[in-house]
Chains A and B, each alone.
Chain A
Amino acid sequence: MKKFVEGSHAIAEVIAKCRPGVISAYPITPQTHIVEGLAKLIADGELEAEFINVESEHSAASVVLGGSAAGVRTYTATSSQGLLLMAEVIFNIAGMRLPVVLTCANRAVSAPINIWNDHQDSMTVRDSGWIHFYAENIQEAIDLHIIAYKVAEDKRISLPVLVGIDGYVLTHAFEVVDMPEQELIDKFLPKFEPIVHLDPDNPVSMGLLGAPDVYIETRYAIEKTMQDALSVIEDVSEEYSNLVGRKTGGLVEGYRIEDAEKIIVAIGSIVGSIKDVVDELREKGEKVGVLKIVTYRPFPKEAVYEALKNAKYVAVAEKAVSLGADSPIFSEIAALMYKKGARPLINSFTIGLGGRDISPAQIKQIFADMDKDEPNTRYIGLNEKLLEA
């Protein structure tokens, strides 16, 4: 069904249609509209679920951990400081192999306190054992949440999934979307059947102490599953795409990259703006394209390599940093290309931190500058006056 909705309300609606039994969250901008939406659906009797209003994000994550361990589909959402406060539990959920789904309404981290969009928050937990998806627009955000549950609960996977959606840019924007019908989701997403759970009739112990004789294998097992997840994500996305009659989800999306000499790699909503610039430059005959990473964990090495191997110049434009080192996605792509052999010139650009606007002119500037090599990341749109102060 087509409808015109706010991003957060679209997420609330689609989560409700995925029928989680336990939902827990704590207020933080710009995530709040999502869980307010869910609370209202429950209050109105439109969703059968337990909504637990907790006293912190640490507890929100712990509640969904407990609910998931008890064998029920769960949901939580957060942003920024909330995700940082959850971090301990985030690692724990993955280590316990619980298929929790979390929306991160991506927001900058403090200090200085800043409620606007970038990707520094979810990047802090990229190594935690969660599958990470990033949405370009509200439609993709809807689709990725449905795909997230199916992948997370797949018995071959059993890992949690974080869906990153850009704070404000997507959470508070309105878009016409195709909202899948309840029957379609019910058909696609069967009832959650846990591999093990806290069942008094068949008691198990979960969350045991892993001494040196067993610990490293638990990590290798997740790494192995992450590799297996690549094809599962592709298959699940294809199955879903066929059902809705639109291509969505998957690992990466190349836009006009087939013969491109210059490619920008990016994640999230900025990809839409880059696509517009690509179209404009293509009209002028420039061989440019953009590679969107939809699945950031597991990192789709094959797909990224295939997309970039014939390019002359690659720019990785990130809304995240690793202060004191190269930015995360740039580092991963540089390492990947080095290992696999193709040698486009790869450069790193930092964009849009703390919600700073990114203009088409700046994107054009990245396309223009990416053939000049620089040792360090280039921060786009710095106000030199502020730096003097």
Chain B
Amino acid sequence: MAVVADPKQNLFASGHTACAGCGQAIAAKIVATVSGKKTVIANATGCLEVFTTKAPQTAWRVAWVHSLFENAAAVASGVEAAMRYLGKIDEVNVIAQGGDGGTADIGMGSLSGMLERGHDILYVCYDNEAYMNTGIQRSGLTPLDSNTTTSPVGKRSRGNPRPKKPLLEIAVAHNISYAASASVAFLPDLKKKVEKALSYKGPKFLQVHVPCPLGWRHDSSLTIEIAKLAVETGLYPLVEYEYGKLISVRKIKVKPVEEYLKLQGRFRHVLKDEEALNQVREVAKANIERYGLAL
């Protein structure tokens, strides 16, 4: 907790093997850099782990450990317990991080345990809305109608049949000090949220929207623009909670969802299917109403 270093230090070195335009790489760099040198990161299996640490190389200039896919929160719990035992917890930020699959699906129990036990850990979920490392399979955070390799579009399917799992709300329900959603399109906001999260003691949670050009099938130069549109259409609300209470909402001048969808191959079929399009509009509308997003 509470160790916020000079954000200009580069603690996430270049030379890693992320795809061009990888949103997760940008966000992860911000998280490490804001947290600073006195950080230990436990990383779940997934793209981020693979593209940063192919032995004998590493992109991490902070202490970093990877164990398995579903246990980053538990490994971080062990690290945090060790830091407490050593009397170092007040000097160190312990961070657990993983993709949406590693967090919201296979690692859900481990995350819930970590949040419930009150560890002084920041958990960051990089939400690229599918299992990207294994080839774009559907996860619990894949949005409605998205075309993935395990929710393909076909005669009898318009893609992923379910809306996103309410991961942030699930985290909030643990009554933790701080929980927020963020986006790689709003970097100052992301930085502020990481800083703020780290200023609280106990468990805190961040869900960061990070486009994946390969998985979403968009041009790699459009990562930031697409992430921005997700927020501006109401499909990805940026909100903050403190001890279960909503404390801030990023207001938007609402744009039509088509502007977001049309830039991505994973939604191409939606634009040709009025019923599907209406479903997606409903999702945005519900978010806008729920959080009062409209300016």
Pairwise interchain contact B61-A65, C-beta atoms closer than 8 A: no
Q: Which residues of B have CB within 8 Å of A199? A: 63
Pairwise interchain contact B76-A55, C-beta atoms closer than 8 A: no
Pairwise interchain contact A62-B40, C-beta atoms closer than 8 A: no
Binds A, one of B50-58, B122-130, B160-168, B174-182: B50-58
CB neighbors of A among B30-83 (8 A)? 37-40, 42, 49-50, 53-56, 58, 60-68, 70-71, 73-83
* Shortest Cβ distance from B91 into A: residue: A200
Pairwise interchain contact A96-B63, C-beta atoms closer than 8 A: no
CB neighbors of A among B242-286 (8 A)? none
Name, among A48, A63, A65, A88, the residue most crowded by chain B CB atoms within 10 Å (CB to CB).
A63
Pairwise interchain contact B55-A208, C-beta atoms closer than 8 A: yes
CB neighbors of B among A4-56 (8 A)? 21-22, 24, 48-50, 52-56
Partner of B61, one of A48, A70, A89, A203: A203
- The answer to whether A205 has its CB under 8 Å from any CB of chain B is yes
Q: Which residues of B have CB within 8 Å of A24? A: 78, 81
Pairwise interchain contact B113-A208, C-beta atoms closer than 8 A: no
Q: Which residues of B have CB within 8 Å of A207? A: 53, 65-67
Name, among B39, B62, B64, B71, the residue most crowded by chain A CB atoms within 10 Å (CB to CB).
B71
A267→B71 CA distance, assembly (Å): 33
A279→B79 CA distance, assembly (Å): 51
- The answer to whether A335 has its CB under 8 Å from any CB of chain B is no
Q: Which residues of A have CB within 8 Å of B84? A: 50
A198→B58 CA distance, assembly (Å): 14
Interface size band for B: 35 or more
A55→B111 CA distance, assembly (Å): 10
Q: Which residues of B have CB within 8 Å of A48? A: 85
Pairwise interchain contact A209-B50, C-beta atoms closer than 8 A: yes
Pairwise interchain contact A206-B64, C-beta atoms closer than 8 A: yes
Partner of B85, one of A22, A56, A58, A214: A22
Pairwise interchain contact B82-A67, C-beta atoms closer than 8 A: yes
Pairwise interchain contact B56-A59, C-beta atoms closer than 8 A: no
Pairwise interchain contact A62-B60, C-beta atoms closer than 8 A: no
Closest Cβ of chain B to A45, distance in Å, is 15
Name, among A52, A74, A210, the residue most crowded by chain B CB atoms within 10 Å (CB to CB).
A52
* Shortest Cβ distance from B55 into A: residue: A208
- The answer to whether B142 has its CB under 8 Å from any CB of chain A is no
Q: List 19 A-B contacts (CB under 8 A).
A: A22-B81, A52-B117, A54-B74, A55-B113, A55-B116, A56-B109, A59-B71, A62-B75, A62-B77, A65-B71, A67-B79, A67-B82, A70-B40, A70-B86, A92-B68, A198-B65, A203-B64, A205-B64, A208-B55
User: 3 closest A-B pairs (Cβ-Cβ)?
Assistant: A66-B78, A70-B82, A62-B74
CB within 8 Å of A: which residues of B? 37-40, 42, 49-50, 53-56, 58, 60-68, 70-71, 73-86, 91-92, 109-110, 112-113, 116-117
